[in-house]
Amino acid sequence: MDLDLDRDPAARPAPSAAPSAASALREWLEIAFRDKRRIAAAFALCFGLTVLAALLPTARYQSEASVLVRLGHEYVYVADNTDGSSGGAMPLMFDRTEALSAETQILASRDLIAEVVRHVGLGRLYPDIARQREDSDRPKLDQAVERFRQGLDAQLLKGATVIQIGFSHRDPALAQAALRTLLQTYLARRAAVFSDGQVRFLEGQVAAVDKRLQRAEQDLSRFKRAHGIVDYGQQIGLLLQQGNELESRLNDTDQQARTASERAKTLTRLANATPANLVQFSESLGDPQVPRQLLELRLKEQGLRSRYVDDNPLVVNAGNDVATAEAFIRDQRKAPPTTVRTGRNPVREAAELDLLRARSDESALAGSRKALQDTLQQLRRRADELSRQQIELAALSREQKLLEDSYGNYARKLEAARITEAREQKQRTTVSVLQAASWPLKAKSARLPILAIGLCLSVVAALLVAFLSQALRSSFQSPEQLERAFGLPVLATLPRVQR
């Protein structure tokens, strides 16, 4: 029965007393029965969506591990004075929760998780992300890190310095491998974070110097193999000695060439001055062998002049003999011949023959001089090349020696820094793995929590629909409501007539 009456509070009398609990329950039951379809539809819709959401996620396997954190001196703060000393200040220990929270931040840092994803493999962990196209706004690695963080759970155990770590994945083997890799990377990362930077610096320097030293050794080895010379000083000394010998031979050849040239010039003048034909017999000329003797005297004089100075007695005597022979020939030629028989002048023939020999010797000496000059030039170029190679070898050897010394210095400093690091490590915070990454035995499903939450939300939605339906009505649903609203008794009610 619906009574559509004016519900203006100003026009109605004062309401009656509040209804009893039984009456209110009966009214709500009547409302629920009256709006049962709406309430059932709201409940069914919400719960159906909940069931659908519960069927979507697949089972996930969670691998678990735990680590024990022993706090050290890096979580102790000591105030420094202006001069840099502690000055007896009271050390302040960080709160245990804050220190462990710092450890969990290191454990869940983006760079550490990204390194784990790269080590295990993006395609193995999340193949659906790997199959996507690369997006500059959302790189694949960032998506993988975000999903890895969703599956990562790190909690601090109350009252203990223990961090409980869990990682869930659809594949149990990947869940265990990823968590194991995460622990290994975490231990290495925190060791790098809290370690002394000097050790890392020296390790980098040692590696860089070692690389340079290997390259210098390879360059020196290639240089020695390419040139095949062990002692450059000895080789250059031998070349200089050979060069000196060649210069001496070249000087001798030059002297012999000049002598041969002068002799050829003398023989040329003599041949030109000697007639081609000679009187072989004449009553007035006497012995025809006198001109030959004159030629021999001139040649003797020329030879002496090439070896001695002009005022030497031997040269002077030879010159006097030549002048005497020439005067004798001139005296004989002044008398007119009576009976004369001419023929080929043997002196001219001998002079021409000697001239040919002299020119041949001069040409041979010139060729020998050219060969000696070329050889000497090659020796000089070879000596210059060896000197350049010696300088280059010295530079390579010097660089290798300097790098060896530098490597030794850095290695000693690194060893000292490692000893100091090991001594200070005992005072630092240490992390021990209490439980390694376990193999997930059972799959954890979120269906039951989803169904429980969905059931609660469905009930709330049904009640909300009932409340809104009652609040939005402009009519009375029962005589009691009418009596409470107007303060008058209901005399009679008419049932709803079904048409």
- The model's pLDDT over 369-385, given as tens digits with 9 standing for 90+, comes to 888 888 888 888 888 88
Judge whether 278 and 292 are in contact, CB under 8 Å. no
Task: Say if residue 4's pLDDT is above 50.
Answer: no
CA distance 462 to 39: 5
Q: How many CB atoms lie within 10 A of CB 257?
A: 18
pLDDT of residue 105: 84
Judge whether 60 and 169 are in contact, CB under 8 Å. yes
Look at residues 39, 165, 64, 48 and name the one whose alpha carbon lies nearest to residue 450.
48
Q: What's the pLDDT band for 424 if we cut at 50, 70, 90?
A: low
Q: Tell me the β-bridge partners of 277.
A: 344
Q: How much of the chain exceeds pLDDT 90, in percent?
A: 5
Task: Say if residue 232's pLDDT is above 50.
Answer: yes
pLDDT of residue 16: 46
CA distance 288 to 342: 11
| Structural domains of the chain, with CATH | 9-56+445-486 (no CATH), 60-194 (3.30.1890), 235-407 (1.10.287)
pLDDT digits (tens, 9 = 90+) for 267-292: 788 777 777 776 555 555 455 566 67
pLDDT digits (tens, 9 = 90+) for 126-184: 888 888 888 878 888 999 999 898 888 888 877 778 888 889 888 888 888 999 999 88
Residue 31 in tokens: 């409302």
Task: Say if residue 8's pLDDT is above 50.
Answer: no
pLDDT digits (tens, 9 = 90+) for 45-75: 887 887 777 666 566 788 889 888 877 666 6
pLDDT of residue 30: 66
Lowest-pLDDT range of 154-158, 192-196, 240-244: 192-196
Look at residues 356, 83, 400 and name the one whose alpha carbon lies nearest to residue 219.
400
Task: Say if residue 229's pLDDT is above 80.
Answer: no
pLDDT digits (tens, 9 = 90+) for 72-131: 666 655 555 555 444 454 555 566 777 778 788 888 888 999 999 999 998 888 888 888
CA distance 371 to 239: 17
Counted residue by residue, the chain has a size of 499
Q: How many CB atoms lie within 10 A of CB 343?
A: 11
Q: 313 CB contacts (<8 Å, ≥6 apart)? A: none
pLDDT of residue 12: 45
Judge whether 417 and 202 are in contact, CB under 8 Å. yes
What average pLDDT does the segment 36-48 reach? Answer: 80
Q: Is 220 exposed, middle or buried (0-12, 13-18, 19+ CB in 10 A)?
A: middle
Q: What is the average pLDDT score of the chain?
A: 76
pLDDT of residue 242: 85
CA distance 117 to 124: 9
What average pLDDT does the segment 27-43 reach? Answer: 72
Judge whether 60 and 476 are in contact, CB under 8 Å. no
pLDDT of residue 427: 53
Task: Say if residue 352's pLDDT is above 60.
Answer: yes
CA distance 363 to 256: 11
pLDDT of residue 474: 63
Q: What's the pLDDT band for 13 if we cut at 50, 70, 90?
A: very low
pLDDT of residue 94: 60
Task: Say if residue 7's pLDDT is above 60.
Answer: no
CA distance 178 to 439: 11
pLDDT digits (tens, 9 = 90+) for 324-335: 877 777 776 665
Encode the chain in three state secondary structure. Answer: CCECCCCCHHHCCCCCCCCCHHHHHHHHHHHHHHCHHHHHHHHHHHHHHHHHHHHCCCCEEEEEEEEEEECCHHHEECCCCCCCCCCCCCCEECCHHHHHHHHHHHHCCHHHHHHHHHHHCHHHHCHHHHCCCCCCCCCHHHHHHHHHHHHEEEEECCCCCEEEEEEEECCHHHHHHHHHHHHHHHHHHHHHHHCCHHHHHHHHHHHHHHHHHHHHHHHHHHHHHHHCCCCHHHHHHHHHHHHHHHHHHHHHHHHHHHHHHHHHHHHHHHHHHCCCEEEEEECCCCCCCHHHHHHHHHHHHHHHHHHCCCCCHHHHHHHHHHHHHHHHHHHHHHCCCCCEEEEECHHHHHHHHHHHHHHHHHHHHHHHHHHHHHHHHHHHHHHHHHHHHHHHHHHHHHHHHHHHHHHHHHHHHHHHHHHHHHHHHCCCCEEEEEECCCCCCCEECCHHHHHHHHHHHHHHHHHHHHHHHHHCCCCECCHHHHHHHHCCCCCCCCCCCCC
pLDDT of residue 225: 81
Lowest-pLDDT range of 3-7, 168-172, 321-325, 408-412: 3-7
pLDDT of residue 86: 47
Lowest-pLDDT range of 82-86, 233-237, 293-297: 82-86
150-155, long-range: CB < 8 A, 24+ apart:
151/60, 152/108, 152/113, 152/182, 153/62, 154/104, 154/107, 154/108
CA distance 430 to 422: 12
